Structure 1
Amino acid sequence: MVEFEDKDKFSHPLLTDVESSSSDSDASVKRTGTVWTAIAHIITGVIGSGVLSLAWSVAQLGWIAGPLSMVVFGIITIISSNILCDCYRYPHPEVGHIRNKSYAEAVSSYLGKTCMWVVGIFLHESYFGFGIAYTITSAVSIRAILKSNCYHKEGHDAPCEYEDSLFILLFGAVQLVFSQIPDFHNMESLSIIAAVMSFAYTFIGLGLGFAKVIGNGQIKGDIHGVPASNTIRKVWLSSQALGDIAFAFNYNIILLNIQDTLKAPPEENKTMKRASCISILITSFFFLLCGCFGYAAFGNEAPGNLLTGFGFYEPYWLVGLANVCIVLHLVGGYQIYSQPLFAAAEAEIAKKHPNSGFVNNEYIVKLPLVPRFKLNLLRLCFRTIYVAATTILALLFPYFNEVLGVLGALNFWPLAIYFPVEMYLVQNKVRAWTGTWIVLQAFRIFCLLCTILAFIGSVEGLISNKFK
């Protein structure tokens, strides 16, 4: 049974420009988030598929550069996230403080509409890229479960090979359903479940890595990392490793979306800074353990996906459980990075078509054994097309490490370095050629050079694997 519900005014938690934002009188959205729900959202976004590639990344960089790179990226993430937390509210001369409910809105408020359009390209490409990466990772994990079970039953000489295509399609079908969640404010339960799953498979990976080190009776690996056939090849692999690490830490693109769920008092920026600091310290600790134990366990043979490296060994049931946790986590992680894109696109469409019933009307749907829910035709059609697009691209480029490296390298500098620093300079009225200005510019240039190197190496790896 379907009931029609008329909406006098379309409202959405994320808008794409400042004029659409409301002041503190924004009563259309009930904010109930706390530091703990924010931590759950952040951990769901940060401890994702990227953690599984860190053993491989440490293997490429070696025992010194590998762990050091993760520490540096963790520090950079804390600094840039603290800067962004202070960008949530913007003093407006007419309506008071405006809520910047997304990264794009903050850039528009502090740097203007031109910069907002530029950052919008990177943001939407990043959201879309996370959807592709998470779809690929889910297929890899499902395949590892079946492969492990097959070898356990048939022996290690059995032809246990499975194609990713079916599993990619299955994950896409699941996301068709979950993508109908209206917005970020309705995702607390899903994020908490996903965060628990992420801790579960991370602990399992750590335990298996530690057990394998004990079983080997030695710590594998060396200072220089995996040897390559030539210097150029070593540079490409090291660059791709840096891109993978950058991908693992990057969550700034959803920070303000998470902050917009927090209740006040206390002030949202104080709560968010506390949640960000706690979350990044926790995730950095786990990243270091996963990367280092994985390298110590496998040495130069460290797999691109840590848990698939244990996929052919006992205890097969524990490896299977870890991969099940990964898939469940990725269901929530996909939504964490897709909801901001859904919101921005749908709000823009609603702004251009305020009188369209297709865009604005909602229907109450009652189905047997299912709680009643609201259905919007625009939401149904747009999000279905979006999920289909991420699924198709995952089918075309099912290369785990290379995709992560490209996404991490492409988005790290503009979204985690350039725009946060630029907003800091404007917000604090830092004059050119002062000490602070010079230090920040040097920091940006250094990070830009690292990003260019990582991007070129990752693209080279993606192309090489595609045409191998």
Structure 2
Amino acid sequence: MKPKICEISVDPVKVANGEVDDDGRSRRTGTVWTASAHIITAIVGSGVLSLAWGLAQLGWIIGIATLVIFSGISLYTSGLLAECYRAPNSVKRNYTYRDAVKNYLGGRKYKALGLVQYTLLCGAMVGYTITASISMVAISKSNCYHKEGHKAPCKYSYNPYMMALGIVEILLSQIPNFHKLSWLSTIAASMSFSYAGIGMGLSFAKIVSGHGEKTTLTGVEIGLDLTAADKTWRIFQAIGNMAFACSYAAILIEIQDTLKSSPPEQEVMKKANTIATFTATTLYLMCGCLGYAALGNHAQGNILTGFGFYEPFWLIDLANFFIVVHLLGAYQVLAQPVFGVVESWAGNRWPKSKFINDEHHLGIGKNNSKFSVNFFRLIWRTAFVAMATLISMAFPFFNEVLAFLGAIAYWPMTVYFPMEMYIVRKEIKRGTICWFGLHLVNLVCLLAALAAGCGSIQGVNQALHTYKLFKFTQ
């Protein structure tokens, strides 16, 4: 089956003058560095702080090997996916991941991919709201303990913080598209290095002071506090966390669509993949290994909380502030594909509607800077963010649900679809060495995803026992 190719009618004068790209759309200006920033913002989330916990479950050897293997798989399959941005020997572009699957693999898989992709992205936005509110509460608790004493009853509801985050996200969501998001991604990416650096610094200080906790080659040992079954569930969860931490395929094509057409987008995207993956993996290894060496087998899900809420309180506050800023940006990186698919559908469905399609340009500030407002975009994005915030407040255990969604989505989005499209694109014949190699990697990742899914189900089951609607305090 060969990919479908559509003819494109473009004014050659506008292309020559640099007004538009070869597909008639506004000139793309993305570079390897902006693409790298987008990727780092998407994958280096606050989950980097949980890698010490993951190493504590798997141990030094298996933990490090698992992280490196999944990073390598993610880099390889991302390269395959980058190849699928343009149809062979054509100027036809695939603007989204769904477009690529539709053109290479057909309608049924296109629908399946859309369901998985947008469910995962919407779920991640809810999870980011919860995680950011946890960091905001951590700041309030740290300041409370510092002011009132370590025995003060410092407890806070998460709901006001989630509402505040929702308001900020509503404002940021008016950024029209990925092409206008580079500045926010750059800020968010720098924040991820900052809070991870603080976590590593605190870990290093504890290690060199001689107060590092006990670590083992096989991780947490089975005993009175841990049964063999619990150990197995934790191993599955740790594998899932590491696999999901290395994946960003859900937005790769959308990021690639921001790149300038020269040099070729697939070459630039592969360089961005390499830069971002190498950077993220190095950060993961340093943060996970230093955190595990410092906190040992008792490492918590967030290494920052492993050092308490007390002193140095200002440093803990700063790290949590960086987490909040990073997640504000990461939320928008994940939201843009969701916003884009709905707005594209509405524009095609009602092409003559002024409410949906017209842009109203406004002058802002002394320099009369131009800012465009679209009424449909304003209302629909506001309603979407408000709904995501409401779900965050109603279901505070959603991070456990997100772990399950991530486990389900990892294999098809990061491995299966990129490999299947690459096989079609390169016309790889069944039964060849290359074909068998691709499917062997496919099978290994499927088994890892199934194991992670089982572990996350256990996490959801435990969270349901303490669940209270709209009541999330700490």
TM surpasses 0.5: yes
**Match for residue 194 of structure 1?**
188
Aligned match of 2:116 in 98, 118, 122? 122
Amino acid of the residue matched to residue 321 of structure 2?
V
1:345-368 Cα shifts (integer Å, max 9, x gaps) = 110111111122221122234567
CA distance in 1, matches of 2:283, 2:215: 19
- 1:317-328 equivalence runs, <5 A: 317-328=314-325
Of the candidates 250, 256, 269, which is equivalent to residue 253 of structure 1? 250
Structure-2 residue corresponding to 1:425 = 423
User: Cα–Cα, structure 1 residues 290 and 173, in superposed 2: closer, same or farther, change >3 Å?
Assistant: same
- Which letter does structure 1 place at the counterpart of 2:346? I
Kindly state the Cα deviation for residue 35 of structure 1 after the two structures are TM-superposed.
1.1
What percent of counterpart residues are identical? Answer: 45
Amino acid at match of 1:48: G
Pairing 1:346-361 to 2, within 5 Å after superposition:
346-361=343-358
Unaligned runs of 5+ in 1: 1-16
Choose which of 304, 320, 323 in structure 2 pairs with 1:307: 304
Contact 2:5 2:87 in 1 (8 A): no
Counterparts of 1:21-32 in structure 2, within 5 Å, are 25-32=22-29
8 Å CA contact 1:61, 1:225 repeated in 2: yes
Return the offset for 1:100: 1.1
Moved more, 207-216 or 367-376: 367-376
2:465 maps to: 467
Q: What SS does structure 2 have at the residue aligned with 1:364?
A: strand
Separation of aligned partners in 2, 1:97 and 1:289? 42
SS in 1 for 2:92: strand
Aligned to 2:218: 224
Look up the SS of the partner of 1:115 in the other structure.
Answer: helix
**Contact 1:21 1:100 (C-alpha < 8 Å) held by counterparts:** no
Map 1:166-205 to 2 at 5 A.
166-205=160-199
Letter in 2 for 1:353: W
Aligned counterparts, 1:11-22, within 5 A: none
* Residue 378 of structure 1: aligned partner: 376
SS in 2 for 1:89: coil
Shift in Å at residue 318 of structure 1?
1.1
**What's 1:3 paired with?**
none
How many residue pairs were aligned?
Answer: 449
Task: Determine the C-alpha separation between the residues in 2 that align with 1:18 and 1:170.
Answer: 46
CA distance in 1, matches of 2:9, 2:441: 35
Give the TM-score taking structure 2 as reference length.
Answer: 0.90
What is the aligned partner in structure 2 of residue 435 from structure 1? 433
Note if 1:149 corresponds to 2:143. yes
CA distance in 2, matches of 1:216, 1:465: 36
Distance in 2, matches of 1:401 and 1:391, equals 14
Cα 1:37–1:326 change in 2 (3 A) is: same
Question: What amino acid is aligned across from residue 320 of structure 2 in structure 1?
Answer: N
Partner of 2:48: 51
CA contact under 8 A between 1:54 and 1:245: conserved in structure 2? yes
Is 1:90–2:81 an aligned residue pair? no
Q: Secondary structure at the match of 2:209?
A: helix
Q: Is the 8 A contact 1:21 1:99 kept in 2?
A: no
2:470 matched residue in structure 1: none
Counterpart among 289, 292, 295 of residue 289 in structure 2: 292
Which amino acid letter does the alignment assign opposite residue 101 of structure 1? Answer: Y
Find the counterpart in structure 2 of residue 78 from structure 1: 75
Determine the C-alpha separation between the residues in 2 that align with 1:441 and 1:338.
32
Deviations 1:181-209 (A, max 9, x none): 10000011111111111111111111111
Taking structure 1 as the reference length, what is the TM-score of the superposition? Answer: 0.91
1:166 CA displacement: 1.6
| Residue of structure 2 equivalent to 1:165 | 159
Superposed displacement of residue 336, structure 1: 0.4
In 2, Cα distance between the equivalents of 1:163 and 1:301? 27
Query: Which whole-Å CA distance do the structure 2 matches of 1:141 and 1:78 have between them?
Result: 30
Q: Which amino acid aligns with 1:374?
A: S
Contact conserved, 1:243 with 1:409, CA < 8 A, in 2?
Answer: yes
Give 1:102 deviation, angstroms.
Answer: 1.4
How far residue 216 of structure 1 moved from its aligned partner, in angstroms, is 4.1
Name the CA distance, whole Å, in 1 between partners of 2:388 and 2:66: 30
